[in-house]
Structure 1
């Protein structure tokens, strides 16, 4: 397979990319994972066991509390129809491989799940093929031992739109993120239980957290509504 333009230009751009990466890390505003419970029960109706798994976005970084984060927003949406028993298994910096290792020791079963991964796979230069293979392993784990009947898989974020990233670093990471997301869509399509969710959001500063890298509570609310709709509609 021929290399894309960004892959060909990585070597000549390496000094610039390295300098920009160091500057981003040095100047980054490190936001903590939000406070609040990571498991609980809420709502009335049929029992629904929900698992939310992934990286810092699944953990809710950018929100002050879990109530404002993905978990809290999804649970509120689903509680209109179910008694939701939810569990959050997410950590800042986790890749798909990290999440698989974490979930392998988890006691199920769960009825539904949401996964949010990809940014750390991008920054660690995981190839599209390896990413697709790992996502397939994650789907096998969720739909097999954990017995999940419906999975919403969040798209790999459009990293070229992250306010914290300067160009050409944003362009290079954005191209790789798009490649991984195409691989993710193909992997997810092999599982009838899974749905790929991409959000078409405007360029609104209110949608980014103060670090310019993570979602804001407003984005989590939009994301949660779309994810809950997919889960409820099946």
Structure 2
């Protein structure tokens, strides 16, 4: 049973305050740029793995200077450390993208790229926009199915909601409202991809350590991306990329 079945309805009485807090947050939070181009790269090593990172601002590397210091570079690093393989990688996405944006504007491009491992990072903007659970769930399932159809041999990792309740920059009741709604969306998306072949939904993240966040207090720093990449693989113990 969904523990948060009416999270959008619960936000209605608080709407004026939530809107005011959200506007102040957008006004006062520094807007960091995407990671510098190019959004492609490689790491030397035998039998290179082709890595695709698809999604929102975290696919765009916001909070890091380059994609080498963001998810693609650290995913490639973990592949080298854990399986001794080289890697080539590509990131596709956009700061502010929702699951609908990825489904409509980016997944076709992503599906046309040869890949052996895909990481879909999506959900934060859907929670921020209080999108419905059913719409978000349909979009995530559609994206994952498209990736699976494009590369049946590949593994698809799905990283969903951050822990909004641990974001110190968020005031109350905005923080608690977003946390409840994000948890509902997260549950729905996990159920939507459950049982799909070679698809792993990554658990919600552990407590954020000092230095995890970039200067805006919202996106990961280079350290945050490194810890995230480590957590992704720690959370998928059955994944074998050594072949």
Residue 96 (structure 2) pairs with residue 93 (structure 1): yes
TM-score normalised by length of structure 1: 0.90
Alpha-carbon distance in structure 1 between the residues aligned to 2:152 and 2:39: 21
Structure 2 unmatched runs, 5+: none
Work out whether residues 8 and 132 of structure 2, in 8 Å CA contact, stay in contact via their aligned partners in 1.
Answer: no
SS in 1 for 2:58: helix
Superposition RMSD in Å: 2.2
Aligned to 1:144: 149
Alpha-carbon distance in structure 1 between the residues aligned to 2:77 and 2:19: 42
Distance 1:22 1:74, change over 3 A: same
Work out whether residues 111 and 147 of structure 1, in 8 Å CA contact, stay in contact via their aligned partners in 2.
Answer: no
Alpha-carbon distance in structure 2 between the residues aligned to 1:162 and 1:148: 37
Aligned to 1:233: 240
Distance 1:95 1:3, change over 3 A: closer
Work out whether residues 108 and 147 of structure 1, in 8 Å CA contact, stay in contact via their aligned partners in 2.
Answer: no
Alpha-carbon distance in structure 1 between the residues aligned to 2:160 and 2:212: 17
Residue 132 (structure 2) pairs with residue 127 (structure 1): yes
Moved segments of 4+, more than 4 Å = 1-6
Alpha-carbon distance in structure 2 between the residues aligned to 1:71 and 1:197: 16
Aligned to 2:121: 116
Alpha-carbon distance in structure 1 between the residues aligned to 2:116 and 2:208: 35
Residue 59 (structure 2) pairs with residue 54 (structure 1): no
SS in 1 for 2:69: coil
Distance 1:17 1:11, change over 3 A: same
Aligned to 1:33: 34
Alpha-carbon distance in structure 1 between the residues aligned to 2:172 and 2:5: 17
Distance 1:177 1:2, change over 3 A: closer
Alpha-carbon displacement from aligned partner over 1:92-148 (angstroms, at most 9, x marks no partner): 011112112212134233111001000111122221111111111011110002445
Aligned pairs, number: 234
TM-score normalised by length of structure 2: 0.87
Work out whether residues 51 and 113 of structure 1, in 8 Å CA contact, stay in contact via their aligned partners in 2.
Answer: yes
- Where do 1:74-223 residues align within 5 Å? 74-80=75-81, 81-100=84-103, 101-106=105-110, 107-147=112-152, 149-223=154-228
Structure 1 unmatched runs, 5+: none
Q: 1:210 Cα deviation (Å)?
A: 1.4
Work out whether residues 7 and 184 of structure 2, in 8 Å CA contact, stay in contact via their aligned partners in 1.
Answer: no
